[in-house]
Amino acid sequence: MTGNFKKPQVIGLNRFRCTLNWPAIMGILNVTPDSFYDGGRYNDTGFALKKVRQMVDEGADIIDVGAMSSRPGAKEIDQNTEIERLKPVLDRIRIDFPDLYISLDTYRASVALWAIEHFNINMINDISGGLFDPDMFDLVAGKGIPYVMMHMQGTPGNMQRNPHYQDVTNEIASFFAHQLNILADKSFYEVILDPGFGFGKTLDHNYELLARLDEFKIFNNRLLVGLSRKSMIFKLIGGAPEQALNGTTALHMLALQKGADLLRVHDVKAAKECINFYKEVSKY
């Protein structure tokens, strides 16, 4: 199943390279009006920059910028709208943070190419794992840009209507194996795997995935987890995303113990503290 895979010790960046201290933190910057937790908060470029500075100061290694909501039931926006939302924010980020490691949250190869060429974007985070745009794999392989491959059953519009699997972990592993072999045929290996918590999964699916997260280490690729303030937390304990920070931190620690390498988070300070505790315990 594993194919010819390699674990990237150094994440490559176009024009420069950066060695990350693993586990690492990816801070979320949504420039959308309708994301599930912070939709509309950072549409203003000034507020977005303040958030970026805060996340960098608190210890974020990567900033993940997205202009299209992928919450359950979200409607797709067109390419022009996606670019219009991204452009002013990326313009200012690159002026104020010229060496910042920026990930772009998009499944469109055309938007990814535009961002790479205009803003020296360093990583592509694709929620479709290469399924929504047939040109995406050729783009990342051709540019040699690190790629986050996420699993999703369905689309954001329908993914939570009736998620179903015979064995959720094995089926996602089979998906990764298939997609990684396609990229291996293109001699491209800088891939981070994301099982896609909350993307076409029930509450039970999500917790089974977390319990079995270490099984994805068979691929020898870095693992990203996106658990931050998701419904799998607040549906279990009650409340809303605003009350889910404590649960997020608890699940982050479990994910780290199960082999997570990269935490995609809204709350960088809490995630940094969690990683520091994990590293301290891991010494023994």
Which residues carry out catalysis? Answer: 230, 264
HEC readout, the chain: CCCCCCCCCCEECCCCEECCCCCEEEEEEECCCCCCCCCCCCCCHHHHHHHHHHHHHHCCCEEEEECCCCCCCCCCCCHHHHHHHHHHHHHHHHHHCCCCCEEEECCCHHHHHHHHHHHCCCEEEECCCCCCCCCHHHHHHHHCCCEEEECCCCCCCCCCCCCCCCCHHHHHHHHHHHHHHHHHHCCCCCEEEECCCCCCCCHHHHHHHHHCHHHHHHHCCCEEECCCCCHHHHHHHCCCHHHCHHHHHHHHHHHHHCCCCEEEECCHHHHHHHHHHHHHHHCC
